[in-house]
Amino acid sequence: MPLPDFLIAGVPKAGTTALHTALHPHPDLFLSPIKEPKFFLTDGPPPGRGGPGDAETYREHVWRRADYEALFAAAPPGTLAGESTPFYLYDLDAQRRIRETIPHVRLIVSLRDPVERAHSNWTHLWSAGLEPIGDLVRACEAEPERIAAGWAHFWHYTALGRYGEQLAHLFTLFPRDQVLIFRYRDIVDRPAETLDRICGFLGVRQGLLTGVPRENVTAHPDPGARHALLSALRRTLPASLS
């Protein structure tokens, strides 16, 4: 059964959605129809607890092997298949699962200034009405307690930015020539050059992709009474209604 030839493995809020969309038209590549299947984040069903909104996220988790393989079944012969789950770099157990299942996979990692990344991450959740703390610093102070309570990776604002630890572990599992690392600003400032670099790394034709769409951009709302009310409602509604 088919499995991916490459993974966009990190990091959240560093252009992974835009990159997934930008690579999709390439005739030599096949991107999974579900952008973020999260398959390697667990050995089975996702946990039943977490932070505000995590239950909805877990329902999107493709955790059965047959369902995951089905994502790539439509890949045309001769193309390289891939998916984008930006938490694979952060989750060291996921790294090990990837190594055990597809040891020859190529890994693409986009890194962003960790402070900018954390702020964008917090803004995303605050804007969605899911972050109960309206101050990034105080939200970061709550991080250890949230991790202990089983809140999903997207709430780990500071821990997600410890790239050195994550990459050091990755390189104990994969040779460096299977990993491509670049900066988020490369996607923003030099999209055509960066896409060619990625295509070269994957061994497919270069010069066919020239732009990266603005995807998953979050505007920061004013912390007024209306936002506070919507946030409170969003956090208390059942996941099926939110």
Q: What is the helix (H) or strand (E) element at residue 193, kind and residue range?
A: helix 191-202
Work out the average pLDDT over 150-171: 97
Coil vs helix vs strand at 5? coil
Per-residue pLDDT at 233 = 39
| Residue showing tokens 């896409």 | 195
| Residue showing tokens 């995590």 | 54
Q: What is the rounded CA–CA span in Å between residue 194 and residue 182?
A: 8
Query: Does 6-118+161-219 carry CATH code 2.60.40.10?
Result: no
> How far, rounded to the nearest angstrom, does the alpha carbon of residue 90 sit from its chain's CA centroid?
10
Per-residue pLDDT at 71 exceeds 60: yes
pTM, two decimal places: 0.87
Per-residue pLDDT band at 53 (split at 50, 70, 90): confident
| Closest of 134, 123, 156 to residue 54, by C-alpha | 156
Work out the average pLDDT over 187-194: 95
Per-residue pLDDT at 56 = 81
Per-residue pLDDT at 111 = 97
Per-residue pLDDT at 216 = 52
Backbone angles phi, psi at 57, to 5 degrees: -60, -40
The domain locations on the chain are: 6-118+161-219
